Structure 1
Amino acid sequence: MNNNTILLTGGGTAGHVSLNQAIIPELINKGYDIHYIGSYDGIEKSLINDNFPSLPYHAISNGKLRRYFSFKNFSDPFKVLYGTMQALNVLRKVKPSLVFSKGGFVSVPVVLAAKLSHIPVVIHESDLTPGLANKIAGSFAEHIFTVFEETVNYLPMEKASAIGAIIRPDLFNGSEKVAEQLTGFDANKETIIVMGGSQGATKINNAIKENLEALTKDYQVIHLCGKGNLDLTLQGTSNYIAFEYVTDELPHLLKIANYVISRAGSNSIFEFLELKKPMLLIPLSIHASRGDQVLNANFFKKMGYAIVLEEENLTANTFIQSVTELVQNKEEIMDKQFTAKSSKTPMQFTELLLTYKK
């Protein structure tokens, strides 16, 4: 057992990697050697390798866990078993004193291997209800941290606790001047930022295009359309700029944004809440996900933090109507947002996480 080594896992979507990205620098600053286990070709591989090129990344096999019938349900358990064996080999070589899992299917073999190796596991669940991977992995974890207090009711309560959202401090360091340089916009004019998450948002992108003339008449629009979705025919449109994907630029773009239109991944919406940005949330439908974003969005609607438009009801007309509703209710939404509970920083979460180290 190497007390100076900690292993992280999580993948499948950017939301299953972002917290890991936030705490890696904190752990490195404390003198820990960090290793990462992810899939061969998931988004986590590029996010970790691109942002932390010197950090050892170990790829393993993983199978998707499904609640519905599929012939792959017969083959994927063998992938999970093989991935567990691969993870065991990594753990034996690396000998970490702690495994931290952010969830996603790739984390299940890692958590199983850690349990077999008698290495403590800590899990973080950011959605209102836990995903299937975390439900399974939670049985083998030392502790499960949640964002929502309600989530604890779905988990073994004796080892689960709600700690609120973990927000990256750099989001508060945005510069209006840098944003103006990036966009060519005027920071004093009302601006909408639109984003669809790492899984893309074709319907949102289409709604923006269909309403672009009306939107740009009254607002500046920053459109994060997703990789491969840049529409070159819209380049040069007044009061409109599109990016496929941003990383370091995001704090600056959010700085000048008066409104956010987004999917309803837990990490992102809590960041917008902390920044006090009125939101129009268009969650992934239950046909495209397990329904976690719908629950997240409806919770924010119930609390008064956001306006919600279900994807099934998304048309050019309902979209512009929802934007109008968002603008009209801006002050009321921000008043509610200011009453929200405070979040934790990655540094505070790291201190909490390390208490479980062996």
Structure 2
Amino acid sequence: MKILISGGGTGGHIYPALALIKEIKKQDPNALFLYIGTETGLEKKIVEKEGIPFKSIHITGFKRKLSFENVKTILRFLKGVQDSKKMIKSFQPDIVIGTGGFVCGPVVYAAAKLKVPTIIHEQNSVPGLTNKFLSKYVDNVAICFQEATPFFPKEKVSLTGNPRATEVVQHVPVKKAELGLNPNKKTVMIVGGSRGARPINDACVKALQSFKKKDYQVLYITGEVHYDKVVEEVEKVGNPPNVIIKPFLHNMPDYLKNIDLIVARAGATTLSEITALGVPSILIPSPYVTNNHQEKNARALEQNGAAIVIVEPELSGEVLLHEIDGIIGNTVKWNDMSSKSLELGIPDASSRLYRLIKKLIKK
């Protein structure tokens, strides 16, 4: 089986692709892969590090406002389609899969025009421009949120979930003691992403002294960029013994199984991981993402009772503390949110996608 995958721009498009590749290799050790991305994108470094054959095309995304740059983008798209067709004809894949980002546009479109079976994977509750465009041409649209269904041709949609959910369920958890945490206490993780988020850090620092009086403990991930500044602020007020502060944790899924509540952004990958494990969440969506999709993702969990959403303008140390206490200190509410989170989770996402791939190849 030969599989061509394209996805790039952010880790949210790349890591699901890598998780899917791992699942396919497990099911079919003889499977061959080719990954097409951009030369300057995050995907090149990450994919090549995994030892997966990588080729690139030159493409940029459309501007949402009228711009001469969009004319250039159209020309790059047409050139990208030509280049992609050459790569597809050379590799001769059985199927082409797009996991998001503008690089998928010319690659998946070229495959559809060459009559190669195609799938796009939409991680968010509201799709971006590229996947909306491609949905007219592909054979199937794999989604992670039921809320995404109305944006695509209904007959093409399959609810598969995010392959990262499967990875997190299969991970062996790191013991609390290895992080200096008490294994007998409930644990709240506060994290603003790999780079951190200043508004979340500000609120957390202001809540520090109140955390000191609580029965639960806090694993606080500042983000590497903000760590020194946070430590400077913490030194002024003191670091409570029940708050462990780290700049970053590699392999975050290793830690999630020991978390009782997470305070985080609302990226699609994060939500797929926490729902697969049934972790209740307080979500503080980033307002700086395209189409405000993080808040829309977060609202999908909130509407189903799995999360509480705090938008940045309403975030403060007092508000954060109130919401944490309201979940951790209320067993009935915690149990309800955990079960609602599990209901949304799709822990077998990788195998669902694999079955869909095999089904399309056999057609």
Query: TM-score, with normalisation over the residues of structure 2?
Result: 0.86
CA-to-partner distance for each residue in 1:72-122, whole Å, 9 max, x for gaps?
A: 333322332333233223212211111011111111121122123221210
169, 172, 180: which one pairs with 1:171?
169
Matches within 5 A, 1:75-94: 75-94=72-91
Judged with a 3 Å threshold, the aligned counterparts in structure 2 of structure 1 residues 149 and 77 are, in CA distance, closer, same or farther, namely same
Matches within 5 A, 1:1-358: 4-29=1-26, 30=28, 31-50=30-49, 52=50, 54-166=51-163, 167-177=165-175, 179-181=176-178, 183-197=179-193, 200-218=196-214, 219-231=216-228, 234=231, 237=239, 238=241, 239-247=243-251, 250-285=252-287, 287-329=288-330, 331-339=332-340, 340=343, 343=346, 344-357=348-361
Determine the C-alpha separation between the residues in 2 that align with 1:70 and 1:227.
36
1:135, distance to aligned residue in structure 2 (A): 0.3
Judged with a 3 Å threshold, the aligned counterparts in structure 2 of structure 1 residues 226 and 38 are, in CA distance, closer, same or farther, namely farther
- 1:60, 1:87 within 8 Å by CA — same for their partners in 2? yes
Determine the C-alpha separation between the residues in 2 that align with 1:233 and 1:342.
33
Determine the C-alpha separation between the residues in 2 that align with 1:111 and 1:172.
30
1:136, distance to aligned residue in structure 2 (A): 0.9
When structure 1 is superposed on structure 2, of 17-26 and 219-228 the one drifting more is: 219-228
Determine the C-alpha separation between the residues in 2 that align with 1:261 and 1:242.
15
When structure 1 is superposed on structure 2, of 34-43 and 344-353 the one drifting more is: 344-353
1:159, distance to aligned residue in structure 2 (A): 1.4
Judged with a 3 Å threshold, the aligned counterparts in structure 2 of structure 1 residues 205 and 105 are, in CA distance, closer, same or farther, namely farther
State the one-letter code of the partner of 2:315: L
Determine the C-alpha separation between the residues in 2 that align with 1:143 and 1:184.
46
When structure 1 is superposed on structure 2, of 162-171 and 150-159 the one drifting more is: 162-171
Judged with a 3 Å threshold, the aligned counterparts in structure 2 of structure 1 residues 213 and 11 are, in CA distance, closer, same or farther, namely farther
When structure 1 is superposed on structure 2, of 67-76 and 253-262 the one drifting more is: 67-76
State the one-letter code of the partner of 1:6: I
State the one-letter code of the partner of 2:32: D
1:333, distance to aligned residue in structure 2 (A): 4.1
Query: TM-score, with normalisation over the residues of structure 1?
Result: 0.87
Judged with a 3 Å threshold, the aligned counterparts in structure 2 of structure 1 residues 125 and 152 are, in CA distance, closer, same or farther, namely same
- 2:38, 2:58 within 8 Å by CA — same for their partners in 1? yes
- 1:101, 1:122 within 8 Å by CA — same for their partners in 2? yes
State the one-letter code of the partner of 1:121: T
Judged with a 3 Å threshold, the aligned counterparts in structure 2 of structure 1 residues 242 and 199 are, in CA distance, closer, same or farther, namely closer
CA-to-partner distance for each residue in 1:176-195, whole Å, 9 max, x for gaps?
A: 53x422x1222222222122
State the one-letter code of the partner of 2:117: P
Aligned-residue Cα RMSD (Å) equals 2.6
State the one-letter code of the partner of 2:205: K
- 2:98, 2:120 within 8 Å by CA — same for their partners in 1? yes
Judged with a 3 Å threshold, the aligned counterparts in structure 2 of structure 1 residues 61 and 210 are, in CA distance, closer, same or farther, namely farther
- 1:298, 1:308 within 8 Å by CA — same for their partners in 2? yes
Determine the C-alpha separation between the residues in 1 that align with 2:231 and 2:263.
19
State the one-letter code of the partner of 1:271: E
Structure 1 residue matching 2:121: 3-state secondary structure? strand
- 1:309, 1:322 within 8 Å by CA — same for their partners in 2? no
What runs of 5+ residues in structure 2 fail to find an aligned partner? Answer: none
What runs of 5+ residues in structure 1 fail to find an aligned partner? Answer: none
Structure 1 residue matching 2:48: 3-state secondary structure? helix
- 1:305, 1:334 within 8 Å by CA — same for their partners in 2? no
Identical-pair percentage: 28
- 2:275, 2:345 within 8 Å by CA — same for their partners in 1? no
Structure 2 residue matching 1:357: 3-state secondary structure? helix
